[in-house]
Amino acid sequence: MNSNKISEMNLLREHFFSESDQSEDIIEAAYAVDSVQDITILKFSENFAEEIGKYHFSTFQLTFDFYMKYSKSKDFSARKSKTFKNSTGEIYKQKFVCHRQGFRMEKYYTIEKRKKAPRLETRTGCEARMDVKFVPENGRWHIFYFSDEHNHDLLDTQFSAMLSAHRKMSEADIMQMMNMLKSGISTSQIFGLLASQAGGYEFVGYGPRDMYNEIARQRRQIPDDAARVLKKLEDMRGLLHNLLWSDGINQLDYRLFGDVIAFDATYKKNKYSCPLVIFSGVNHHNQTIIFAAALIADETTDTYIWLLRQLMFAMRGKTPTSIITDGAMTMRNAVRDVFPEVRHRLCAWHLIRNATSNVGNPSFTSKFRKIMLGDYEIPVFKLKWVQLIEEFGIEDKPWVINMYEEKHMWGTAYLREKFFADFRTTSRCEGLHSVVGR
């Protein structure tokens, strides 16, 4: 795809970022990348370059992981190039390039008294690259430039795994290798055995040197094992498991605007690996406000029941009329136990992502979104659902069957008489996660 078109498209997307239209957030849910698992399920088709600019990421590392997988699927290797940082030293823009970008420095060829011949030149000035930028308005990383025009031949697919950036031993191979070493098997023999298991040396995905490097790394870690165990035990001795906090302003906001709350627990990357739960809502200016936040030790039903009861205690017993969650069963059970009369809606953002991962057809995801958010009468909704399922032949999919059974929790046709303050997703908290992550 012409890179100029990518740039033009993203000018329109910059206009979108200046808006706070929640429906636009839902449209982009299918292109949200929030974990390594999201990258794993991606399939890079021949026309993928035409829609690559739609993807957006919750962390900087995911942008690099994304381009690395893309480069491997297209039989080239990638690396980081120019990095842009703000006044506080934080990265806000990054260029990822083909490994053959640029040229070797001229002085490399003029070294006097060279002891060995220089390595073959691999740089060709390739201009294939992907640029990403952090967008403060929604707290996510977006692709604002992309080019897949290479000026060199690409490797055959069977050899792309041997490029330096893609050579990596799996955890299973590392464990098997270390066990073989303990049994007295030599490294060269181990490599032959692993190659045999993989079906040939070309399918291993790494070389003998990578094995030697991994063995050295594993042996360097051994002296630190005792220290790591002690540190883990020290953490486990702590008595504080769950913590909820809400200040006076939060509580005042809840008294005024706490009829509808979103219950979000998607942020889990803090120092102690404890989920961070955010209770949020909207004020009379349609701005996101926070009612409370909590750190919890686990995501069991009992923990969420405790959390909701503490929230009610902090808010002097005021119960919301409507609540929105990401659909986790432990959350649902807790809401049903503590708020049996509250109207419970499932987050549209998560439903669209689930539609993408369970059906894997962008056309289905688009039509599913229209049915979910369409202001239909219930008979019309049911008819459109039947037509959609028959069109894609997915009547027997468990996810589809389950979604229809729970239609009263996500279909606008069933929720149109209920008050949700135009709140359909928990994704308003996504921008906060980037701030917390710092």
**pLDDT at residue 118, as a whole number:** 65
Q: What is the pLDDT of residue 387?
A: 92
Same domain, residue pair 297 and 423: yes
- Structure confidence at residue 427 (pLDDT): 53
Check residue 83 and give its pLDDT.
92
Residue 165, pLDDT score:
59
The reply to whether 307 and 219 lie within a common domain is no
Whether the CB-CB separation of 141 and 56 falls below 8 Å is answered with yes
Provide the domain count of the chain: 3
The pLDDT-based confidence of 119 (bands split at 50, 70, 90) is low
Q: Is the pLDDT of residue 163 over 70?
A: no
The token duo for 171 is 């955890």
Q: pLDDT, tens digit, for every residue of 76-113?
A: 888 888 999 998 888 999 999 988 888 877 666 667 77
Residues 87 and 213 in one domain: no
pLDDT of 255: 86
Domain check: are 181 and 292 in the same one?
no
**For residue 430, what pLDDT band results from cuts at 50, 70 and 90?**
low
pLDDT tens per residue across span 219-272: 766 555 445 444 444 444 445 577 888 888 888 889 888 888 988 776 655 555
Are residue 29 and residue 148 in the same domain, yes or no? yes
Q: Is 237 within a domain?
A: no
- Are 334 and 411 members of one domain? yes
Same domain, 328 and 224: no
State the pLDDT at residue 16.
Answer: 40
Tell me the average pLDDT across 191-208. Answer: 79
Q: Report pLDDT for 153.
A: 78
Range of the domain at 146: 3-166
Among 6-20, 156-170, 368-382, 411-425, which is the least confidently predicted range?
6-20
Task: Write down the mean pLDDT value for the chain.
Answer: 78
